[in-house]
């Protein structure tokens, strides 16, 4: 193992976690030579000589072998990563938004420069899921990858169901513990999990799918009535990222799902993440680990740095061998949609209705809807529609083509809506 000199960008939660894990590792030969930060006036416990605000002093230093990028700004991160690779340096990053939105060009950049970019810390914290997909499952056809990809929302939902906390109280608790940001939008609306899912689509199925093509529905519109419904049915709710291959087409989305009490993911609590992989030969494989926190993510970053000392790089086997698999949103899902006022949902977006319920404090419809419809702004994180939850059962991706048109049952439901609206008026 060669001694690695590291240039680090960012010294926030993950950067400090990397510093702690690196300096307490018993089997790693390397050191941080310089740390580039934005605010030089911020008090830090390390020697001030270790810090700089000049990015070029790291990117152009011939003694630095590896650039580690751990900043929040995805655009600035892309500039750093691009320049580092072009300067002949390998790179480690944990910026899932940057990787997800630019993975195709980053793969090409690695090929043209001959340098490696590793990003295990960008997906599911301490779970080594990318390297597992690359190495162990590199040649096995996969049927499905799904799980809990966001520790913040899992912590919130655990507290809501196990301690009967309100969503607002659980969110404040998660923020106080450092599991959620002061602005929790990326977590609670499902964007964070979507970026991670987008990255895993490349390593699991060999396809690059831009995040804006993937539906993400969050947990921030959950109502007390939705939680009560779940409890009555002896269910919990988890924010699930899911990708499934049906024949030769891949479907993917992020949204809250009802989980049965005997399901494996029910026992995954607090800030823990979980990934379930289903392969043609291996059947189900379960991976569980902490998905949020300074040290777990810092350890994942250190693992990538260590791998570079052995000249490890992603080979993107599935991409080069199976890259022609199409991605589609043209499939039916079985969904639960709750709402307060009948006019707030468009029943024409349903292909069929399995169940409906109307009352003054809780109304919902369970039916089949096309994934494509959920990309429309009237559904995608629209507070007027409250929340869309995948319906009960594991076979929620039906793989059948969407066909527009109302059936007689939906016409009946529309009449019920109109009647209830008259009563309310």
- What sections of 44-164 are H helices per DSSP? 56-59, 74-86, 96-113, 129-135, 151-162
Q: How far, in Å, CA of 324 to CA of 248, rounded?
A: 9
pLDDT surpasses 80 at 279: yes
Among residues 146, 196, 269, 318, which one is catalytic? Answer: 196
Per residue in 44-102, pLDDT (tens digit) is 888 999 999 999 999 999 999 999 999 999 999 999 999 999 999 999 999 999 999 99
In this prediction, residues 262-270 reach a mean pLDDT of 93
Tokens of 344: 């707030």
pLDDT of residue 110: 97
Q: Is 196 a catalytic site residue? A: yes
Per residue in 153-206, pLDDT (tens digit) is 999 999 999 999 999 999 999 998 878 888 899 999 999 999 999 999 999 999
Residue 240: strand pairing partners? 255
**What angle separates helix 191-205 from helix 96-113, to the nearest 10 degrees?**
30
Is residue 121 a contact partner of residue 300, using CB atoms and an 8 Å limit? yes
pLDDT surpasses 80 at 237: yes
Q: Phi and psi (nearest 5°) for 357?
A: -150, 130
Q: How far, in Å, CA of 340 to CA of 364, rounded?
A: 9
pTM above 0.85, yes or no: yes
Residue whose C-alpha is closest to residue 365's, from 270, 226, 238, 264: 226
CATH fold of 4-122, please? Answer: Rossmann fold (3.40.50)
Q: How far is CA 182 from CA 10, 68, 329, in A?
A: 18, 24, 33
The residue ranking higher by pLDDT, 130 or 352, is 130
Is residue 297 a contact partner of residue 364, using CB atoms and an 8 Å limit? no
Residue whose C-alpha is closest to residue 374's, from 404, 329, 326, 417: 329
List, in order, residues 6 or more apart from 159 with CB less than 8 Å away.
Answer: 165, 169, 170, 173, 174
Same fold yes or no, 4-122 and 129-291+318-322: no
Residue recorded with tokens 């050191």:
31
DSSP string for 176-223: HTTSS-SS-HHHHTTHHHHHHHHHHHHHHHS----GGGSEE--STT--
Burial 271-306 (b: 16+ CB within 10 A, else e): bbbbbbbebeeeeeeebbbbbbbbbbbbbbbbbbbb
pLDDT-derived band of residue 394, with 50, 70 and 90 as boundaries? very low
- The highest-level CATH class for domain 129-291+318-322 is alpha beta
Domain ranges of the chain: 4-122, 129-291+318-322, 332-424
Tokens of 414: 């529309």
Q: How far, in Å, CA of 99 to CA of 96, rounded?
A: 5
Q: What percent of the chain has pLDDT over 90?
A: 65
pLDDT-derived band of residue 250, with 50, 70 and 90 as boundaries? very high
Residue recorded with tokens 């939680």:
227
pLDDT of residue 419: 53
Is residue 367 a contact partner of residue 353, using CB atoms and an 8 Å limit? yes
pLDDT surpasses 70 at 401: no
């Amino acid at each position: 193992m060669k001694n690695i000199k590291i240039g680090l960008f960012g010294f926030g939660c993950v950067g400090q976690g990397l510093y702690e894990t690196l300096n307490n590792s018993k089997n790693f030969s390397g050191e941080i030579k310089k740390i580039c930060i934005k605010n030089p006036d911020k008090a830090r416990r390390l020697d001030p000589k270790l810090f700089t605000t000049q990015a070029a002093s790291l990117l152009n230093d011939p003694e630095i072998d590896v650039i580690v990028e751990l900043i929040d700004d995805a655009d600035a991160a892309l500039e750093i990563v691009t320049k580092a690779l072009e300067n002949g340096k390998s790179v480690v990053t944990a910026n899932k938004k940057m990787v997800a939105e630019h993975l195709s060009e980053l793969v090409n950049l690695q090929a043209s420069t001959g340098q490696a970019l590793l990003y295990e810390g960008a997906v599911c914290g301490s779970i080594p899921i990318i390297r597992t997909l690359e190495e162990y499952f590199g040649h096995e056809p996969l049927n499905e990858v799904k799980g809990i990809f966001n520790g913040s929302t899992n912590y919130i939902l655990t507290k809501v169901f196990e301690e009967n906390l309100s969503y607002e109280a659980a969110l404040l608790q998660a923020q106080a513990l450092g599991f959620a940001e002061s602005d929790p939008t990326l977590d609670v609306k499902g964007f964070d999990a979507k970026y991670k899912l987008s990255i895993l689509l490349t390593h699991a199925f060999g396809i690059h799918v831009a995040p804006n093509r993937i539906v993400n529905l969050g947990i921030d519109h959950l109502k007390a009535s939705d939680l009560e419904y779940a409890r009555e049915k002896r269910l919990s709710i988890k924010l699930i990222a899911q990708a499934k291959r049906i024949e030769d087409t891949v479907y993917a989305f992020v949204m809250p799902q009802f989980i049965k009490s005997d399901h494996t993911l029910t026992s995954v609590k607090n800030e823990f993440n979980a990934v379930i992989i289903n392969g043609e030969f291996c059947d189900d494989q379960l991976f569980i680990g902490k998905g949020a926190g300074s040290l777990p993510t810092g350890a994942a970053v250190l693992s990538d740095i260590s791998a570079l000392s052995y000249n490890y790089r992603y080979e993107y086997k599935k991409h080069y061998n199976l890259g022609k698999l199409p991605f589609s949103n043209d499939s039916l899902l079985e969904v639960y949609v709750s709402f307060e006022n009948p006019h707030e949902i468009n029943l024409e977006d349903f292909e069929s209705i399995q169940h409906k319920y109307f009352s003054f404090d809780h109304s919902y419809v369970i039916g089949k809807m096309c994934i494509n419809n959920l990309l429309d702004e009237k559904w995608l994180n629209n507070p007027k529609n409250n929340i869309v939850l995948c319906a009960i059962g594991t076979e929620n991706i039906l793989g059948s083509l969407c066909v527009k048109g109302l059936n007689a049952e939906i016409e009946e439901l529309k009449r019920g809506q109109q009647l209830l609206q008259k009563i309310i008026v």
